[in-house]
Amino acid sequence: MVRPEAFVDDAVAEIRDEIGDANAVIALSGGVDSSVAAALAYEAVGDQLTPVYVDTGLMRKGETEQVSETFSYMESLRVVDAEERFLDLLSGVTDPEAKREVIGEGFIREFEREAKEADADYLVQGTIYPDRIESEGGIKSHHNVGGLPDVIDFEGIVEPVRDLYKDEVREVARELGLEELVAERMPFPGPGLAVRVIGEVTEEKLSVAREACHVVEDELEEYEPWQALAAVIGKATGVKGDNRVHGWVVSVRSVESRDGMTARAQEIDWETLQRIQSRITGKNENVARVVYDVTHKPPATIEYE
């Protein structure tokens, strides 16, 4: 287990060393990894730092507002509304790896532009160890690793938490006083809801995934899942109010894990599952059915794509 106090000192010194007198941008997603990276970088280089949060349109319900509030103490925070650009880029893209690449590249371009404006030569990212191992092993590319385009307009990329596991990042977050983040935020993938809709990313599917994820997180809070989510996985026939519906199938997933490397599907009681089903089908007229995913990791992964 990492020793948080020593880690923070070392990481801050390392960041200061790497960035020197230059300016840097931080890729802030609001999740615990990038938040810890941001806090470390802020401590290291203070005003030389511009935290950039890109609203890709692939975010969870209320996420952008929450992030803006949490990090409002950093005066240089920039919130970029890039929803239209990302939906354009993703239009017609159906292959899961291609989607991740498109998003990774889109991210980098947004940052490059912001970095130019901030006169920054360095990009700080919250890449953690499992992101790297899954990318290197060719299982999934992560937006901040495998999705990197060949030409990057930065002098260097700084990844202060690259050797840590999620549980260790949380320890460091506590050390940094980011308590609410630790308690309240579940892991959320870099490519956002795009990997929670199978196939092409459309506004309609995103909206279903967003609402359904909200219901799942809300209903499963007491189970203290490591990660809980809903994904739009296909279409099926249903009947609503005497009308045939050919609607979306939403898969609900809730797992417990230490580090994300292995995961166990949680045993959820029937009543809770039924309430989730009823809330999702009731609020989304285009959803025909809800299923619960009982697969552990391995053989499945936690997210769908």
Partner 1 sequence: MRIDVVDNHGQFTHLEGRALRDLGIETETIDNETPPEEIDADGLVLSGGPDIERAGRCGEYLDLDIPLLGICLGMQVIADELGGSVGSGEYGGYADVTVEIVDDEDPLIGSLAPETRVWASHGDEVKELPEGFSLTGKSDICGIEAMSFEERDLYGVQWHPEVAHTEEGEAVFENFRTICE
Residues near partner 1, by CB under 8 A: 1, 129, 133-134, 137, 139, 165, 257-259, 261-264, 296-299
Minimum CB distance to partner 1 smaller for 225 or for 247: 225
Q: How far is the CB of 33 from partner 1 (least distance, A)?
A: 16
Q: How far is the CB of 299 from partner 1 (least distance, A)?
A: 4
Q: How far is the CB of 186 from partner 1 (least distance, A)?
A: 17
Burial of 216 (0-12, 13-18, 19+ CB in 10 A): buried
Minimum CB distance to partner 1 smaller for 92 or for 137: 137
Q: How far is the CB of 184 from partner 1 (least distance, A)?
A: 22
Tell me which H or E stretch contains 102: helix 96-118
> What is the rounded CA–CA span in Å between residue 96 and residue 203?
17
Binding-site annotation, residues: 29-35
Tell me which H or E stretch contains 54: strand 49-55
Q: Are 63 and 30 in contact (CB under 8 A)?
A: yes
> What is the rounded CA–CA span in Å between residue 30 and residue 187?
10
> What is the rounded CA–CA span in Å between residue 143 and residue 195?
11
For residue 2, give the 3-state DSSP assignment: coil
> What is the rounded CA–CA span in Å between residue 147 and residue 143?
5
Unique residue bearing structure tokens 């947004």: 110
Minimum CB distance to partner 1 smaller for 32 or for 77: 32
Minimum CB distance to partner 1 smaller for 133 or for 152: 133
Minimum CB distance to partner 1 smaller for 228 or for 265: 265
Q: How far is the CB of 132 from partner 1 (least distance, A)?
A: 9
Minimum CB distance to partner 1 smaller for 168 or for 217: 168
Q: How far is the CB of 301 from partner 1 (least distance, A)?
A: 10
- Which residue from 49, 39, 45 is spatially nearest to 123, judged by alpha carbons? 49
CA angle 205, 207, 213 (to 5 degrees): 100
Count of CB atoms within 10 A of residue 123's CB?
25
Binding-site annotation, residues for ATP: 29-35
